[in-house]
Structure 1
């Protein structure tokens, strides 16, 4: 196949989507496909350094100058070229190839849902609402989508009016290999990092500082757990928060509520071996997010054999499967205290499992997580691409020497 991939420009400071585009490029090239990457280049943005003005200059580069330049490139690309948008946020570019074979990868619609008032925890400015409408108007002109989860598929239907039959669901693959680390190796790795090293010696959370990570809820949950330990005369496990340092009055207040003898450790920038070791040695993994695009850490923890507590809403419940332990979503505007007490009960129940019960859950979790660790996503994407080309009148089984699919 000839595959032309649209991705975010580097000046937008997006890391995950350019990384996703490079992953697609490398995987498709390794399979013998001809791949090109296309994005806006800094023209106006190059000369403007003031932060607010630079943002608007970037919009000029993306939405005025790039379409004009790409139309010239488009005339040079064969008609059997498949155009792939690595993110639905590139929607304003979709009209450029609306009459050519194309696919849009849809990751999550959190920004659009926020702009439409569906997520009150994340209010959106007037300009932000207009920007999301502009993006939606663009990708609504696309004909085929690949969603990373059933939740994203449902959101495309509900918030963008995309017909279900135009959306294929292909779950993400893990970006790295996650599996239990041998105990001795894990202990050594964590000891070098000055972190709790014994098996079952800590609770763990992995996540950024975004509003939907619910870090206030996690620390409040931990405080409730620690108070119950004090009442029972037992020592609470420390909580390792892998992510940015604490900030904001609400999180500081939650930390102040943690009783004496309990410890919350914040650590940022763990390398891959240390992260795997932390997953392996943790007694439980806490991930009660308010929302997620996918919820990678849930799968990572389960693949490492760690019991996982997460939110009983999609996509967390979709990704966590039957082996995860679930708590309700923290309601908007509600006091965190009652929710934290309920979640702490669930955590204490997880930690109290017998050896046999725990082993059963661990094996179930690892079996579930294995579906995300097989490289199946790339084959799933390519299968959808082939369908799109066939629908456009090109045969997937007739490949010319230069890698292009011959027309029927």
Structure 2
């Protein structure tokens, strides 16, 4: 196959989507296909300007300059070229290749749903609503889609108006090697890197500050757990630097000395911090997939997450589930009590019980294999080419 991948421009400083595009492109290249990765070059954006203005200059690069330059490039590509969009947010470019073999990878529709007022937690500005409508108008022109979960595919179909050609689900493959290891050895590594002493173990959360990650919920559940239990367990919040809101919650907690933010960790640290954790606490409100759930399980770490899709889709029968709180009861002690009780249950598992939970998690995480995911994607790509009358090899 000859495959052209579209990815987000580097100047947006996004990491997950370009990494995803590079992973698939590399996988297809390793399978013997001719691959090219296309993205937007900085033209207007590289000019010195205030950040707010640079955002709009970036839009000019993406939606004015790039379409013009791509039209010239497109003439060089044979009819049997497959055009692949690494993210549905690249929807505005779909009309450029609508009549050619193409497919859109779909991750999550949180921004789309927020813009339509479907998520009260996250208000969207007028310009944000316009931008999401622009994206939606674009990906609706596509015929073929690959979603990362059944939940994402369900959301996609709800937003589409025109007839769908091919719409498949391929679960994400883990993008690095996660596996269990000696927890004592991993704990010593974590202590050495952080300067902390963690004899009682720790509750782990991995994630950014997006509203749907519910990091404030993590802090509140932990505080409630500590109030109910005389426990030396600490909380490690690994990922982005805490927001002002999170810092305030910590400062107001009587257990603030047990709460620690680990910022911008290395991949090695992420692997070790999963291996040594007592439990991953991941009360996310919305996701497209939920990487940390699978990563933790593959590392031998029990997982507590919300019982909403796709978290329960990823966690399967191997996770412990809590309710996902609606906005008006986040402070409600009933939800906190339920969540803290489950956290207590997991932390107090006997060695035998924990062993069973860990084994179930490892078996469940085996579903998310990168090679298998790439194999499935390759089959779908060939299937799409065939529908356009192009056989592939």
The equivalent residue for 1:284 is 279
The 3 A distance-change label for structure 1 pair 197 and 31 is farther
The equivalent residue for 2:295 is 300
Matches of 2:232 and 2:331 in 1, distance apart? 20
Indicate if the aligned counterparts of 1:226 and 1:258 stay in contact, CA closer than 8 A.
Answer: no
Aligned residues: 392
Pair 1:332-2:318 in alignment: no
Q: Which has the larger radius of gyration?
A: 1
Q: TM-score, normalised by structure 1?
A: 0.91
The 3 A distance-change label for structure 1 pair 28 and 200 is farther
The equivalent residue for 1:244 is 240
Pair 1:394-2:393 in alignment: no
The 3 A distance-change label for structure 1 pair 12 and 350 is same
CA RMSD of aligned residues (A): 1.9
Q: Structure 1: give runs of 5+ residues left out of the alignment.
A: 398-408
Runs of 4+ with deviation above 4 angstroms? 162-165, 195-200
Indicate if the aligned counterparts of 1:181 and 1:276 stay in contact, CA closer than 8 A.
Answer: no
Other structure's SS at 2:329 match: coil
Q: TM-score, normalised by structure 2?
A: 0.94
The equivalent residue for 1:204 is 204
User: Residue deviations 1:304-345, cap 9 Å, x none?
Assistant: 111110011011111111010011112112242422221001
Indicate if the aligned counterparts of 1:183 and 1:199 stay in contact, CA closer than 8 A.
Answer: no
Indicate if the aligned counterparts of 1:114 and 1:123 stay in contact, CA closer than 8 A.
Answer: yes
The equivalent residue for 2:220 is 220
The equivalent residue for 2:168 is 168
Indicate if the aligned counterparts of 1:48 and 1:57 stay in contact, CA closer than 8 A.
Answer: no
The 3 A distance-change label for structure 1 pair 76 and 116 is same
Deviation at 1:243, TM superposition (A): 2.2
Q: Structure 2: give runs of 5+ residues left out of the alignment.
A: none
The 3 A distance-change label for structure 1 pair 94 and 197 is same
Return 108-117 or 13-22, whichever deviates more.
13-22
Indicate if the aligned counterparts of 1:237 and 1:262 stay in contact, CA closer than 8 A.
Answer: no
Indicate if the aligned counterparts of 1:199 and 1:283 stay in contact, CA closer than 8 A.
Answer: no
Matches of 1:164 and 1:340 in 2, distance apart? 42
The equivalent residue for 1:26 is 26
